[in-house]
């Protein structure tokens, strides 16, 4: 019975020539292309947006074009119900709303207000993110070392995520009170799951023979965990953390409603939703800032990933 030798090495060990170095010029070139693609695609989306309004928006009139006395009347050939100025404001009007005062006679612009709200929400989300990541790491560590506990509790971990967060959020607020703690708990709740699932996989990622080697060095569980399991799991951890980063923002924004937190993006979104008829651009602006917040958090985790996983094959991808 030959047990060993049937599973392949986890490393892409087929490089026939040593010392494959990346060419620095080629790298920055590909980076420039990526940025170019991103910007180009963004411009494309904005053009498409306006093209939709041009085709099926509402009629408009441009009086006295640049002081020439000419007046342009435009009537789109179609009428798309989703493309009215109420349902789909011009994107430049959304940007304009960001610069305008948040309320009549207010000194603060909508943009300033939303950035302040975003930073407040981010603080809640970040605390929940850290707590959820730690909880996920601890749970996965326990499950990987105990088949019994894994079989007993993983179904509950999965079941926990089938409860709609809008139903659970008020119950968490009943339990912890209408305060920041409740919001953090909700963010934690959405964060721990991807980390737990990914880390159960990641901590089992090492080649079985790597674990046998550790056994032959008479290494204990803790040493094996620290030197082999944990480092091997880091690519899995960062994949989960990137999901968790955006999930924690969503959790915090949702939690701020029932949690009764007035300072964050959640309350702003609820308010601007109620005021939609009088100023649709404000809700669009709030959505824009929320998504920028999620993207920023994602990018921060991605940057950390690049630092932590530098030197590993494939670290630059993903």
> Where along the sequence are the contacts to other proteins (CB under 8 A)?
1-5, 7-20, 207, 209-210, 212-219, 223, 227-228, 231-232, 234, 309, 311-313
Beta strands 60-62 and 72-74 are: antiparallel
Based on CB atoms, which residue is closest to other proteins, 7 or 99? Answer: 7
**CA-based nearest residue to 111, from 268, 271, 259:** 268
**CA-based nearest residue to 258, from 250, 266, 246:** 266
Please state the closest distance from residue 214 (CB atom) to other proteins, in A.
8
Based on CB atoms, which residue is closest to other proteins, 15 or 39? Answer: 15
Q: What is the dihedral of CA 290, 295, 301, 307, to 10 degrees?
A: -150
Based on CB atoms, which residue is closest to other proteins, 16 or 278? Answer: 16
For 61, the token pair is 């009139």
Q: What crossing angle do the helices spanning 110-145 and 230-259 adopt, rounded to 10°?
A: 130
Based on CB atoms, which residue is closest to other proteins, 14 or 278? Answer: 14
Please state the closest distance from residue 19 (CB atom) to other proteins, in A.
6
Please state the closest distance from residue 12 (CB atom) to other proteins, in A.
6
E strand map for the chain: 60-62, 72-74
Please state the closest distance from residue 36 (CB atom) to other proteins, in A.
30
Q: Is there a contact between 246 and 197 (Cβ–Cβ < 8 Å)?
A: no
Please state the closest distance from residue 229 (CB atom) to other proteins, in A.
11
**Residue 156, burial from CB neighbour count under 10 angstroms (0-12, 13-18, 19+):** exposed
């Amino acid at each position: 019975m030959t047990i060993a030798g049937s599973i392949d090495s986890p490393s892409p060990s087929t490089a026939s020539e040593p010392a494959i170095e990346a060419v620095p010029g080629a790298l920055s070139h590909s980076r420039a292309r990526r940025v170019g693609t991103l910007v180009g695609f963004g411009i494309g989306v904005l053009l498409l947006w306006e093209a939709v309004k041009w085709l099926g928006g509402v009629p408009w009139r441009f009086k006295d074009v640049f002081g020439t006395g000419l007046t342009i009347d435009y009537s789109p050939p179609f009428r798309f119900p989703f493309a009215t100025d109420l349902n789909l404001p011009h994107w430049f009007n959304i940007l304009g709303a960001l610069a305008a005062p948040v309320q009549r006679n207010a000194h603060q612009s909508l943009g300033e207000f939303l950035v302040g709200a975003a930073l407040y929400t981010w603080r809640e989300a970040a605390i929940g993110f850290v707590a959820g990541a730690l909880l996920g790491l601890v749970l996965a560590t326990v499950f990987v070392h105990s088949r019994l506990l894994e079989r007993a509790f993983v179904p509950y971990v999965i079941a926990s995520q089938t409860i709609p967060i809008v139903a659970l959020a008020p119950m968490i607020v009943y339990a912890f009170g209408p305060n920041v703690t409740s919001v953090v708990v909700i963010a934690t709740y959405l964060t721990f799951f991807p980390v737990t699932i990914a880390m159960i996989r990641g901590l089992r990622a090492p080649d079985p023979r790597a674990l046998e080697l550790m056994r032959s060095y008479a290494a204990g569980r803790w040493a094996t965990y620290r030197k082999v399991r944990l480092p091997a799991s880091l690519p899995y951890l960062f994949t989960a953390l990137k999901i968790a980063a955006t999930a924690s923002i969503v959790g915090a924004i949702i939690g701020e409603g029932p949690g009764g937190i007035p300072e964050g993006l959640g309350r702003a979104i609820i308010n601007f939703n109620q005021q939609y008829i009088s100023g649709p651009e404000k809700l669009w602006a709030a959505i824009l800032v929320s998504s920028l917040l999620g993207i920023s958090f994602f990018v921060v985790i991605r940057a950390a990933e690049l630092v932590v996983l530098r030197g590993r094959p494939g670290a630059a991808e993903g």
